[in-house]
Amino acid sequence: MLTIQSEQRCFAGTIGFYSHPSSAIGAAMRFSVYLPPQARSAKLPVLYYLAGLTCTEETFMIKAGALRLAAELGLILVAPDTSPRGLGLPGEDDAWDFGTGAGFYLDAEAEPWRRHYRMYSYVSEELPALIEANFSARIDRRGIFGHSMGGHGALVIALKNPARYQSVTAFAPISNPMAVPWGEKAFSHYLGPDRARWAAWDASLLMRERPYPGQILVDQGLSDQFLENQLHPDALEAAARASGQALALRRHEHYDHSYWFIQSFIADHMVWHAHALVN
């Protein structure tokens, strides 16, 4: 059952914010949907956006400048929250890069996170089923993209489910989380100390074993303050070479990790997805 938090007209379509009880998470979850005007007369492809650390279901819709493009291209946009909230788990709110706002789009295996921090199952299974049952969404045309932690999530979800997603792109993804502080912190808590179990959630390692059947677009700013310590796009590039993955990894001078960077290249990503999804 959906609860409408708000709905407003935007570019002749509707931007809406919703909540619902999630069976995957075992708690309430929030998400946003932009329905372009074409959705009033036809079922449309759906493009899922996964946000980064500390973000919510509002961040992308407000900051990215994507809604006008979605209206022009005839794409439904969906953005889930980045984690469950308010569960009262020990340590859940102690740091900005773990717990609340930092679900890392995996299914946790360690206590006390195992029951509720199941963002992978939520994003890849429950949320699409909910969208397709309640909105004018096609069930055969889905794309996925994201930023930073969400870029990691988009790549992992598409690599694990290539038949479910006809397109995938990323902005400044955490490409090799097993090898960087953000990923090591999240994986050790969510998955436990056995690093062998972490590999199932690392895009660079997954890509070496099972490349995505289409080309992947990744944009990375060279003035990104997290580039050297956290993002490691070179690992993704090496994985693509090893597996034969078609990868367009574009590096951009002077751009950082912010939504100013995303705004600058969002049109490229939206058109990329439209070419794969709209037919």
Render pLDDT for 64-101 as a digit per residue (tens, 0 to 9): 999 999 999 999 999 999 999 999 999 999 999 999 99
Residue 174 scores a pLDDT above 90: yes
Q: Tell me the pLDDT tens digit for each residue of 181-214.
A: 999 999 999 999 999 999 999 999 999 999 999 9
Query: What's residue 214's pLDDT?
Result: 97
Q: DSSP code of 224? A: -
Q: Tell me the pLDDT tens digit for each residue of 256-270.
A: 999 999 999 999 999
**Residue 238 CB partners (closer than 8 Å, separation 6+):** 204
Mean pLDDT in residue range 124-139? 98
Tokens 């993002």, residue located: 231
Tokens 């990329």, residue located: 272
Q: What percent of the chain has pLDDT over 70?
A: 100
What pTM was computed for the model?
Answer: 0.98
Residue 3 scores a pLDDT above 90: yes
**Tokens in use for 198?**
């972490």
Query: What's residue 72's pLDDT?
Result: 98
Q: SS3 for 263?
A: helix
Give me the active site residues, please. 148, 224, 257
Residue 279 scores a pLDDT above 90: no
Mean pLDDT in residue range 229-250? 98
- CA 59 vs. chain centroid, Å, equals 12
Sheet containing 216-221: which strands, arranged edge to edge? 3-10, 13-22, 27-35, 76-80, 44-50, 137-147, 167-171, 216-221, 247-252
Q: What percent of the chain has pLDDT over 90?
A: 99
